[in-house]
Amino acid sequence: MTASEARKDVKAGRRPHPVSGGPVVQLPSEFGVFVAQAWTDLVTGIEHLAVSSPIPPVDGKAPLVRLHSECLTGDVFGSYRCDCGEQLAYALEKISEEGGTLLYLRGQEGRGIGLANKIKAYALQEAGFDTVEANEQLGLPVDARCYNAAAQILAELGLHEVRLLSNNPDKQNRLADAGVTVVEMVPTEVPSREQNIRYLQTKKDRMDHRLVLDSQDAEPVAASPSAGQAPYQHEQD
């Protein structure tokens, strides 16, 4: 951004994090062929990844954008405690089909509390607290994520108006605060499961997430060691 743009942002009450982008490389994957670019938040030092479809958005629509918060357990290990891994796969498939960009936002584990604290919150959830109460018990914010770098990366990619792949209205508000216009919210609902239905219900009831939950849809996981125990639950989106 130019100095005058930076001054305008400061005047508007925004505090964009300057970011630095690296080379654009090919990223063929099981979800399609993408291009990838690493971005460094020059305030926090955290490195993020932009994964984009080379296809232009269909029908002149604003591009699809997914801000995906890092979730090691869900994204890498396929944990059913949350729906992050399934949302990541859904978003990549949709972006591969319709064009758009997924920003993989690192440093946002457990809605920004970090991996170790997220696992501590899991322990509290196993003792009966919901995902919001667990963070409160730990003296941690319910949502500590910051989207200033994400908004700046989108701006530098020329994505000022986007269709946001999310069920979380807070992301729409935070992006608007950071100067990116969300022209449409595109839901990313994936099927609920026995292990995450309570977590998803908490997101709907306590965090205003736009979810349509039907326990009839929950996939039974008969062989799971958790069968018969209280359903798991946690964070994110």
Chain centroid to Cα 198, Å, comes to 19
Stretch that binds Zn ion, among 21-29, 36-44, 68-76, 195-203 (CB under 5 A): 68-76
**Cross-strand bridge partners of residue 219:** 193
Q: Does 162 bind Zn ion (CB under 5 A)?
A: no
Q: Does 71 bind Zn ion (CB under 5 A)?
A: yes
143 catalytic per annotation: yes
Residue 220, exposed/middle/buried by CB under 10 A (0-12, 13-18, 19+)? exposed
145 catalytic per annotation: yes
Stretch that binds Zn ion, among 37-45, 77-85, 86-94, 116-124 (CB under 5 A): 77-85
Q: How far is the CB of 193 from Zn ion (least distance, A)?
A: 13
Annotated catalytic residue within 9, 83, 130, 143: 143
**Cross-strand bridge partners of residue 165:** 186
- Of 53 and 108, nearer to Zn ion (C-beta) is 108
Q: Does 117 bind Zn ion (CB under 5 A)?
A: no
Structure tokens at 188: 């990313």
Measured at the CA of 32, the angle between CA 27 and CA 35, to 5 degrees, comes to: 30
Of 113, 83, 67, nearest to 234 (Cα)? 83
Q: Does 113 bind Zn ion (CB under 5 A)?
A: no
Question: Which ranges of 12-74 would DSSP assign to H, the alpha helix?
Answer: none
Q: How far apart are CA 70 and CA 104, in angstroms?
A: 6
- Of 103 and 180, nearer to Zn ion (C-beta) is 103
Site string for Zn ion, 20-59 (x = CB under 5 A): ----------------------------------------
Q: How far apart are CA 57 and CA 134, in angstroms?
A: 40
Task: Could you list the beta-strand ranges (E) of 17-159.
Answer: 19-29, 32-41, 47-52, 64-69, 100-105
Q: Does 186 bind Zn ion (CB under 5 A)?
A: no
Q: Does 112 bind Zn ion (CB under 5 A)?
A: no
- Of 82 and 159, nearer to Zn ion (C-beta) is 82
Annotated catalytic residue within 66, 145, 163, 193: 145
Residues at the site binding Zn ion, with contacts judged by CB under 5 A: 71, 74, 82, 84, 236
Enzyme catalytic residues = 143, 145
